[in-house]
Structures are given as structure tokens and as C-alpha cells.
Structure 1
Amino acid sequence: MKTLAHYHPEKFTKNGDIEIAYDAFGDPQAKPLLLIMGLADQMITWHEKLCRVLADSGFFVIRFDNRDIGRSTWLEDEGAPNIPLLVLKRLLGLPVKTPYTLKDMALDALAVLDALGLESAHVMGASMGGMIGQALALDYPERVRTLVSLISAPDILPNKNVLKGMGKDIGDWIAGRDSDFQTISPSPAVFPFLLNPMPTDREGFVDFYVGLNLTVNGKGAPLNLEESRRHAQELYDRGLCPNGALRQLAGILASPSRNQRLKSLKTPTLVIHGAKDPLIPVRLGMETARLIPGARLKIIKNMGHWLPLPVWGELLESLENFWDACASRPFILPD
């Protein structure tokens, strides 16, 4: 597919002592769209072709590395947090102390907008990025034109509304039966990837990352494994921060629930979730949409916790319908 979108090479900006890497696609005078990636993934996981499709459709598309990943600042001096202990403290209502929270990561996002001279932007966040986007819209509503919360949740731990159906999933797990795990967060199959150390050699990391992709994609549209391996190699070559993902997860755990605050959110919001998501169950996406006044909800039936090419058509159609400003110019899928 030919594209007219101009690429703006990677630059750096700072939020205090934290340096943030970012790049962009398209016309800087177009509508700004800030993409926020999720846990353990770099900005290049927002596929270049997807960024160019969005840019060709009238957006100035910006992506960046969250702290503790890729080419942004690593906080390795902080060491590896004890995630099970932090989860236990959170469940018991005890304070959870970590190097940073989602609010700090939202300030990193604002630093990118400030570096580009942008007073506000449309914001789309995936997974942890959706949580950062929610925090951004809640704390700095004047900076967020619209919000797309993609495969994300209002809280990492389920509330009583989500707990209602958990018995069946736990029963399926114990009995070894097949299940979509629509309430357990995450599916038990994901735990080894979240809690075990990440391999630091290139081939080990590639195998780990492809395995993680397959696991979180679940029963969603099939992945292109060759492309997944190439992408994993690119991630490794950009820079592997061994304990960064654990600190990001700790930052999520240390952040207060947004369940109550989202009820007062006035930012126009679209919630998109995969029906087959084994990492953040679809019920949590539904809960996000229920909490935010006037939020639209789109559930993509053949999507897990990933964005393979086969789901792009439905994804882009949903975005086009949501962003009224783009309604007159359809998205064109890549070849």
C-alpha cells in the first residue's frame, strides 16, 4: 500500500529525570492522536502500517516508549518488585509503595505532547496504556479530546460486579476444562509470563515474546508467527530492560482504582475489547464502558489481547464511527 504519511524520526523529551523516546507519522498540523502502549511493550508494537493508515486518514499520529521500556529511561537501580506480595497487600487494603504509578506515566505522556507544542490530543491506549489514558483524562481532562480505551480495564483487580461469574471460570480451571476465562484476570496460562524472569539472550527473548503473544491472543484471530518473531527481534535490538515490565506492573498495582472516578468522566470515550481476551477479561471492558457516562462499547468477537491484521478492519471501522471528524474519509487497509 502506498502511503503519503511522512515519518518523523525518533526524538527524546524529559519529564523531570525521566527521558521519553517518541516518534510520529503524518502532518503536524493534522488532528493529534497520541498512542499509549501497554505493559512490557515498546512503542513500535503500534504497528507502523496501522500508524500510517491513521495518519493517511487525517491524524498526526504520535507514539512513545513508556518509562522502563525500549529507549526511554530504565529504573534498574530500583530492582525487581515482589509482585505476589504487592498483590496480597492490595487485596488486604495495605499501602503499596513503588517507584512510580500510572499517574507518573500519564505525566510522561503529557511531556510528549508538551515537546510537540500540543495543548491537547485524541488519546488511544492499549491495555496498561488504556489505564494511563484513563488517568490522563481524569487528571487532565483539558488535554484529552477523546479517549479510546482498548483492551483495558478500570482496575487491575476485579470488583463485585465482575466477581459474580468467577465461580465457573475457577471450576473450569480446576477441572482442566476449556474456558474463555471471562472473569479471572488474567487467565492462569498468562501467569508464567508475568511472574517469571524475562530471558536476556536474543533467541530466548524471541521465543518468550512469541509465546506470550500466542498466550494473550488466546482464541483470537491467528497471528503471523514469522512477523511476531521479526517484531520480537526488533524489540530486543532496541533495548531490553529485564525488570522494567515488573516495575510497570507494580505501578499498576500501586495505583488507586478508577471505578468511582470514571463515573464523572466527561471525555467522549470509546471502549474496544476482544471477546476472546485471556489477559484482561471482556467483562472488565464492559465494566469500563458501564462506568463512563455515554461511553460507546465495541466488542470484537475474534480478538484476544492483541491486534493482528485480521481484526484491523473492524477496529478501524469502530474508530472511524467514533471520530466524527474522520467520518467523511474512510480508512484504507494496507495490502
Structure 2
Amino acid sequence: MTERLVEVGRGISLAYEEFGTGDPLVLVAGLGQQLHSWPTAFCERLAERGYRVIRFDNRDEGRSTHMRYRPPGIGAIMRRRWPPEQYDLGDMAADTVGLFDALGLADAHIVGVSMGGMIAQTVAALHPDRVRTLTSIMSNTGARRAGRPALSTWLLMAGRPGRTREEVQDRAVRVFRHIGSHGFPFEEAEVRALAGLDWDRDPSPAGTARQLAAIFRSGDRTRQLASVTAPTLVIHGDRDRMVHPTGGAATVKAIRGARLETIPGMGHDLPKGAWPRLLDLIDSHARQRSADARN
């Protein structure tokens, strides 16, 4: 595993890492999350099942390209007032396809979590020939009445970002105690370690605000998702306070032939206790497509 930086077009470079060899499987991170939000051990276990696993920093996070314009505030986002440079999920999907190109991938299995699920859905909708299978985890369609955060989550997220490494770690613990998987043990040491790594790689919160604006600018993608042809698996926890489980149901309804798997006790994170189920679901979904292609 060695971190690399590659140009993906339009002035964007993405930092990425690879594990294993075999069928390519690309993992897309969520809002404000860096590549290591897909835990190393999780990636290694996927690689052991015969995949070339690729995780990366989306634009505006980690060591990938950061935009230089001032991000809109939450008030401007709610009023849909964007800087002229503001990108959307289509631009982030184009970054992902550019990563495919840079790595020589004609197509790949794509798995996205939260905002990463939105990006993965958009790749599948706009670039259907590049996606073998789509797995969308704890995500939504952008529809106004589906997959919305709880009011308590909005209030928590509106708090001031941490200004030091320790403050960032403390805030991450508060956030994930709230939105995390209440049906599984809370791993505070792991949350603190990942938040500290976030700070070490990229201490600026501006990129997260620009990514949030990209989600809102993209609006309701339900009609767009009707064009997805890749076999689609939707995974959601029943304890998600960040993206209500109705977001998963709306995704299944929007994508023809999609199926929903609900994980009891899972919230808006990837708890170790849910890894066996998650790994089996992702693996079996990808293998079924490969078996269908051979027949």
C-alpha cells in the first residue's frame, strides 16, 4: 500500500491507495471524509477476496486538489446561492471516472458511502459502461422528503469546527456518538485516531463546506437515477440519524432492479461488528454480476 497522486483531468489531482489484485473495486468516501474513512483492515479483507481495491480522497479533501474559492455559508447553501466556481456531484463523478482512466480501468465495481454513494450513483447514471456493479451505502437520491438528517443532527453539525487537532478529535467523538451505530460498540479510540489523521493530512474545513454545497446544488437526482443499468445493491442501517433510512428506500425505488439490505443496529458509520455482513454483501453482489456475465 503506497499513497500516490494522479491527474484526473480539468486541473484535478486525486490521492489514492491500492490493495490487492483482481477485479477492480473502487471505494468512494463520504462528505468531509478522507480515503482512510474506508478502514485499512476493511480494504485488506476485500483484497483477500480477490479484488484490486482502490480508495481515494475526493476533491477538496485530504491530499487531493483543493478549490481556492471561499465556500458558501450554510445560509447561502439553503438559499441556493453559489459562487460561480461551485461544482456539483456530476463534477465529482467525472473526477472518479478520470481516476478510472488514469489507472487504466475500463470499468469497475463501485461502492460509495453517504455522499460517496451519491457520487457512485452519478457515475453509474452518467457513465453506465464504466460500472460493473453499484453498491450504495447509507445514501439517498437528493429528494427533499427522503433521507434527511434528524433535527438533532442538523443542530450538532452546525457547531463550530475544531481549531486544533485535539478539538477536531473531541468533535469527531461527539458527532459519531450521535450518528454512529448504536447497535454496536462505540470505538472512541478508533474515532480519535482517524480524526487525528484527518487533521494531519488536511486541517482545513473549507473543503467540506464546498462538498456540502455540491450536494445541495445537485438537487433531486431521482429522474437521473432511472438511467442506471448496473446491478445495484443498496445498504442502509436502521439507526441512521444522518441519512434517514427512507433515503435507502428512495434509492431502491429510483433504480430499476435495485435491492435493499438493511443492517439492524447500524447508523452512519462502518462499525467493526457489521463488517462481516458488509463484506459478504459487497462481495456476493460483485460475484453475482461476474457469474451472470459468464453465462
Does TM, scored on the shorter chain, surpass 0.5? yes
Identical amino acids, percent of aligned pairs: 37
Q: Tell me, yes or no, if the aligned pair for 1:273 and 1:298 is still in contact at 8 Å.
A: yes
Distance change >3 Å, CA 72–CA 243, structure 1 → 2? same
Residues 124, 134 of structure 2: 8 Å contact kept:
yes
The partner residue of 1:52 within 44, 52, 67 is: 44
The answer on 1:121 being equivalent to 2:89 is: no
1:197/1:74 Cα in 2 relative to 1: closer, same or farther (>3 Å)? farther
The equivalent residue for 1:244 is 207
Q: Indicate the larger mover: 225-234 or 10-19.
A: 10-19
**Helix, strand or coil at the partner of 2:218:** coil
SS of residue in 1 equivalent to 2:222: coil
Deviation at 1:261, TM superposition (A): 2.2
Residue of structure 1 equivalent to 2:57: 65
Deviation at 1:213, TM superposition (A): 1.6
1:136 aligns with 2:123: yes
**CA gap 1:80/1:9 in 2 versus in 1, 3 angstroms:** closer
In structure 2, the CA distance between the partners of 1:240 and 1:298, relative to structure 1 (3 Å rule), is: same
Residue 80 of structure 1: aligned partner: 71
Structure 1 equivalent of residue 167 of structure 2: 204
Quote how far apart the aligned CAs of 1:325 are. 5.2
Q: Is the 8 A contact 1:321 1:327 kept in 2?
A: no
Letter in 1 for 2:9: N
Contact in 2 for aligned 1:97/1:254 (Cα 8 Å): no
1:98 shift after superposition: 5.6
User: Which residue identity is paired with 2:282?
Assistant: L
Q: Say what the alpha-carbon RMSD is for the aligned residues.
A: 2.1
Structure 2 partner of 1:172: none
Task: Give the match for residue 102 of structure 1.
Answer: 89
Question: Distance between the aligned counterparts of 1:240 and 1:233, measured in 2?
Answer: 9
User: Do 2:237 and 2:263's aligned partners in 1 also have CA atoms closer than 8 Å?
Assistant: yes
1:11 aligns with 2:2: no
Q: 1:245 to 1:156 in 2, by over 3 A?
A: farther
Does the Cα contact within 8 Å between 2:3 and 2:15 map onto a contact in 1?
A: no
- The DSSP-based 3-state class of the residue aligned with 2:226 is helix
141, 146, 150: which is aligned to 2:133?
A: 146
Please identify the structure whose Cα radius of gyration is greater.
1
With the length of structure 1 as denominator, give the TM-score of the two structures.
0.82
Shift of 1:84: 2.9
Q: Deviations over 1:97-134 (max 9, x none)?
A: 66110011111111211111111110000000000011
Distance of 2:204 and 2:83 partners within structure 1: 23
How many angstroms does 1:313 deviate by? 1.4
Name 2:192's counterpart in structure 1.
Answer: 229
Residue aligning to 1:177: none
Q: Output the amino acid matched with 2:110.
A: V
Q: What is the Cα deviation at residue 19 of structure 1?
A: 1.7
Q: Which residue matches 1:276?
A: 239
Q: How far, CA to CA, are the matches of 1:24 and 1:80 in structure 2?
A: 31
Aligned equivalents of 1:258, 1:121: Cα separation in 2? 22
1:124 is paired with a residue of what secondary structure?
strand
Aligned residue for 1:254, secondary structure, equals: helix
For residues 48 and 74 of structure 2, the distance between their equivalents in structure 1, rounded to whole angstroms, comes to 42
Provide the rounded CA distance (Å) in 2 between the counterparts of 1:68 and 1:96. Answer: 15
Residue 11 (structure 2) pairs with residue 43 (structure 1): no
TM-score where L is the length of structure 2: 0.92
Structure 1 residues 114 and 124, CA, compared in 2 at 3 Å: closer, same or farther? same
Q: CA deviation at 1:96?
A: 8.6
Q: How many residues align?
A: 291
Matched, 1:187 2:150: yes
Stretches of structure 2 lacking an aligned partner (at least 5 in a row): none
Q: Measure, in 1, the Cα distance between the counterparts of 2:249 and 2:51.
A: 27
Counterpart amino acid of residue 107 in structure 1: A
The runs of at least 4 consecutive aligned structure 1 residues that moved more than 6 Å come to none
* CA–CA separation in structure 2 for the residues paired with 1:217 and 1:96: 33
Q: Secondary structure at the match of 2:3?
A: strand
CA distance in 1, matches of 2:257, 2:212: 29
Task: Report how far residue 156 of structure 1 moved.
Answer: 5.7
CA apart distance, 1:193: 4.3
Contact 2:157 2:175 in 1 (8 A): no
C-alpha change, 1:53 and 1:278, in structure 2 (3 Å) is: same
Structure-1 separation of matches of 2:88 and 2:290: 36
Q: Counterpart of 1:207 in structure 2: which amino acid?
A: D
- Which residue of 261, 268, 276 maps to 1:305? 268
